[in-house]
Structure 1
């Protein structure tokens, strides 16, 4: 019941986030580069974050808070449940005027995501999941693609992930590679069966992954880090050691092909 109630709250919040973000034109929105090479942020990101940081903790005062655009606090580590938020995932895409960016909202309970929303307002796509209740897009059930050989599997990943030193034998297998600018959207596309896997081998921020982790698992997929370990959220340093997210067979094949001693530092 708690997961369902949290999901209803996240859906309302994501729709409100879309209303705010669409008030801005990406190419004309004020934009800054974050320190430490962490990429761009726009005034739309900050406006959405301000609204969410007001709305969500007010509705769930006992929950912790982790957001890309908020100063982090160790206080969240002592909370049973925590919001994990990316106000706009795909900020660079948003700033360039593309429609492929998303609001990514999740609740994690003791490190496991229990409610999740990925909303692409300019594509009218609302992906949702509550733990144990399946995954949906715009209210319709979704599920991962049928089994496939690795050679025929369609993989969402960036080119640097195919550099040989990540793979056994020093070369990546032949893969049907595509790319989308939002990690959350990539996970959602696998969940709805359009692709067989999403792969990123660099350290990944929790807010990029949390919502898609649950949506894909509820759709019948598997998610682990690049070494095959389950994903855990609300870590002291909110980074994951890469992500392998796929249909069960493709997930197995990718882990068998990856070199566990690889550096895991490719661009995502």
Structure 2
């Protein structure tokens, strides 16, 4: 499997000596390992499916995706800062997108040899075993993966929800932790790149979570700008409660719950 082969490449660099540079423009660091994993995935996946398009954080081909019917969306190392720090919570994220929707998603944590996967219409699994999202009914007592910046009062016209929070550097891993019910939800309100969330969004949705953008709309991938307007993934009752806080007095009617991707 491509994810495991790429994981072996990542582990050859992890906790070792490798080149690091800053991408600039606030995009954070990239390492020699990120690029090596990207090459590994490209060699395997594009050889197997030469008719698919390619969108990767570390490949300068965003404008060469073309009009292919399906596209690989890849983050070679999601959580590069965790990787640099020698932490285990970095992930490799692989998705196949068709007509804006994710049809296959895989998130692999090489340092833990942990594999999450899902296909559209199927179940979500961790290491081959089914996983289910939380049944948390609302905000009170909910445990959410997020950062403090996402809980600024100006982001919550209906009042900042009182949440117990945790954090993981990798967005893909956060979505998988929601999928297996270890956290009730996760949220990121700034624009999020497709490669960070595509695979994890499908895994969380197939586990029973509701997955939308920050305004409650369905996620759409591989647009002209490969980003969504944030991501909120949570147990259905919790998601609805979060959207009441999020939209406040301006909310009208039900928020969409068909976004998963």
Q: Structure 1 length as normaliser, TM-score? A: 0.90
Shift of 1:29: 2.1
Structure 1: distance between partners of 2:15 and 2:192: 24
1:24 matched to 2:13? The reply is: yes
Which runs of structure 2 are paired with 1:74-223 in the superposition (5 Å)?
74-169=63-158, 171-223=159-211
Structure 2: distance between partners of 1:29 and 1:260: 48
Structure 1: distance between partners of 2:79 and 2:15: 11
Shift of 1:237: 1.1
Shift of 1:25: 2.9
Could you say which residue in structure 2 is the equivalent of 1:242? Answer: 230
SS at match of 1:147: coil
Shift of 1:37: 1.5
1:251 matched to 2:239? The reply is: yes
SS at match of 1:258: helix
Contact 2:161 2:242 in 1 (8 A): no
Deviating 4+ runs (over 4 angstroms)? none
SS at match of 1:133: coil
1:50 matched to 2:50? The reply is: no
Could you say which residue in structure 2 is the equivalent of 1:62? Answer: 51
Q: Structure 2 length as normaliser, TM-score? A: 0.92
Could you say which residue in structure 2 is the equivalent of 1:34? Answer: 23
Structure 1: distance between partners of 2:15 and 2:33: 8
Shift of 1:79: 1.2
Could you say which residue in structure 2 is the equivalent of 1:8? Answer: none
Shift of 1:77: 4.3
Contact 2:73 2:97 in 1 (8 A): yes
Structure 2: distance between partners of 1:172 and 1:28: 43
Contact 2:135 2:236 in 1 (8 A): no
Shift of 1:216: 0.6
Shift of 1:143: 0.6
Shift of 1:168: 1.6
Shift of 1:108: 0.5
Contact 2:35 2:58 in 1 (8 A): yes
Q: Structure 2, unaligned stretches of length 5 or more?
A: 251-261
Could you say which residue in structure 2 is the equivalent of 1:265? Answer: none
Contact 1:77 1:234 in 2 (8 A): no
Structure 2: distance between partners of 1:220 and 1:112: 17
C-alpha offsets along residues 167-214 of structure 1, whole Å, 9 cap, x if unaligned? 125x41211111111100000000001111110000111100000011
SS at match of 2:25: helix
